[in-house]
Amino acid sequence: MDSFKKLLLWLALISLSLMAVSGCTRKNNLTGNNWSNVNTKTIDDPSGIIDGFSFPSDTLRVITGSEAKLLSGDYQDTQAVAYMRFVGLPRQATIDLVDLDSCYVNLTLVKRSPATATKLKLRLYKINGAWNDTLSVMNNMEYIPNTETEIADSISIFGIDVKLKLTPDVVKNWETNADSTGFNIAVKVVDNGFVEFRSAEGSDGAKLNLRYRKVAETAYQVFNTKALKDSYTLTANQEAISTAWKISNPKATRIYLKWVSNPTLFKDNDGNQMSSQDIKRLTVNRAVVVLHAKNNPYYLGGALYSLFPFNLTREDISITSPPLIADYQALSLTPFSTGTVVGDSLEIDVTPLIQAYISGEKPSNGFTIQSTQERQSFGEIEFYDFSTTTPEAKKPYVRITFTPPYLKQ
C-alpha cells in the first residue's frame, strides 16, 4: 500500500511540473523554444558601401618552399620559375645504358593559363651548381634538349600527369658541371602562359624515373624518387591603386571597402523602426558582402578561392592614402570565406566586423578583403563596383541577418 501511495505522489508531482511548464509557454509555441517570439530578420543594404578601390599590398608574402603548389610561367607581367632537387641517383660512372622511354620527370598539373592559338609548352633546365634555398642565385642553367612538352588545352579539377622525357646523355652525365650530391632542375614555360603543379608537400609531387643498366650487368634497374625539396621564384609588377575592384594573387592586389550603417533598414518584428539604442543592442547572426565577378578566367571550373576581411584601425584611409599593414586588425571569430564562384557571385563573411560597427565597439573605418592565396597561385578576379555604369543586378551589397533585442529601451 505504501508503494502505491508513493507512486500516486510521484504522478502528482510530475503532473504539477507539466502544468507549470505549459503555463510558462506561449500557446503558439508549445515547445518553449522561442520564449520571446523574436525572430531573425534579413536585410540587403546596397547603399551602405560608400567607398571602394583596389590597391597593392605594401608587404609581400615570402615564398618558403612549403607551398602546396609550384608555379611556372610568364603571364601578364608575372614571371615564375619552379625548381626541384632529386637525390640518391646512381653515380654516372656506373650507368652503361639508359632506356629512353622510361627516363622522365613526372609533374601533376592542376591549373594552366587559358588556352590560346599558341600551344603552351614546358621545358626542363639543368642547374649547373649546388642547390641554394635563395633560388635567385641558381641562374646558371642550361636547357635540357628534347624535353619540350606540349600541355593539354584543359586540366580537370583532379589534375593531369605530364612526363617530360630525359635523354640518355643527360642521365649518363647528370653530375657534369652540377651538384654531384643531387640533380637540380628548373621548369619553365616556353612562351606566354602559366602552369601550377603539385609540390613535394603532397604525395603526388614531382617524381624522377630512370630505367638504366649498370656497367658489366645485363639486367635493367629502375630508380624512382620524389623531389627532396622544391620551390619557385615569383616576380610580378604590382598594379597601381585603381577604382576597379580586383583581387590578384601573384601581384598581391587587395580591395578596400567602407560600409556605414543605414538605421532606417533595421525594423523590429512588428515592422517598427528600431531606435538607435536598440540597433546597437541587436545581434548580427550573419553578415556577408556579396560581390559579382566581372572578369574571372581563373576561378572557373571549380577552382577554390579563399578570402579574409581585416578591420582597419586608421580613420583617414582613401584612394590617395591606401591601407598599410600597420592598419590591419583581425577581429576575433572572423572566418575565412572559401568556396567556388556560384554563377558569377561570391560572399565574404564579415559578421564580426558588422557587429562591431553596429554596436559601436569599433569605428567604421572600413575593411580590406585579401586572398589567402597571395603569391601561391596565378589566380585573380575582378568584381563589379558600385559605379553608375554597373547594372543594378551586379552591384555589390551587404546582406545582414540579425535578431532584434527582446527588451526594448
Query: What is the reported pLDDT for 31?
Result: 36
Residue at a domain's end among 201, 221, 236: 236
CA angle 229, 232, 233 (to 5 degrees): 145
Q: Is residue 220 located within the same domain as residue 323? A: no
Per residue in 228-267, pLDDT tens? 999 999 999 999 999 999 999 999 999 999 999 999 999 9
pTM, entire model: 0.87
Query: What is the reported pLDDT for 26?
Result: 45
Q: Note whether residue 147 is domain-resident.
A: yes
Beta bridge partners of 197: 70, 109
Q: Is residue 155 located within the same domain as residue 42? A: no
Q: Is residue 190 located within the same domain as residue 101? A: yes
Q: Is residue 227 located within the same domain as residue 160? A: yes
Per residue in 51-77, pLDDT tens? 999 999 999 999 999 999 999 999 999
Say if CB 176 and CB 92 are below 8 A apart. yes
Is residue 409 very low, low, confident or very high in pLDDT (cuts 50, 70, 90)?
Answer: low
Domain boundaries, position 299: 34-57+238-403
**149-152 contacts at long range (C-beta below 8 A, 24 or more positions apart):** 149/121, 149/122, 149/123, 150/119, 150/120, 150/121, 151/109, 151/112, 151/119, 151/120, 151/121, 151/122, 151/195
Beta bridge partners of 163: 106
Cell 597593392 sits at which residue? 56
Q: Is residue 109 located within the same domain as residue 184? A: yes
Q: What is the mean pLDDT of residues 102-110?
A: 97
Q: Is residue 150 located within the same domain as residue 228? A: yes
Query: What is the reported pLDDT for 207?
Result: 97
Q: State which amino acid sits at residue 18.
A: L
Q: Is residue 148 located within the same domain as residue 217? A: yes
Phi-psi region of 291 (alpha: psi -120 to 50; beta: other; left: phi over 0): beta
Does position 1 have pLDDT exceeding 90, yes or no?
no
Query: What is the reported pLDDT for 396?
Result: 97
Here the cell at position 195 is: 602552369
Q: Looking at the 3D structure of the chain, how many domains does it have?
A: 2
Task: Kindly report the CATH number assigned to the domain that includes residue 353.
Answer: 2.60.120
Q: Is residue 155 located within the same domain as residue 220? A: yes
Q: Is residue 211 located within the same domain as residue 76? A: yes
Is residue 13 very low, low, confident or very high in pLDDT (cuts 50, 70, 90)?
Answer: low
Does position 21 have pLDDT exceeding 50, yes or no?
no
Does position 33 have pLDDT exceeding 60, yes or no?
no
Q: Note whether residue 13 is domain-resident.
A: no
Q: Is residue 86 located within the same domain as residue 163? A: yes
Q: Is residue 384 located within the same domain as residue 338? A: yes
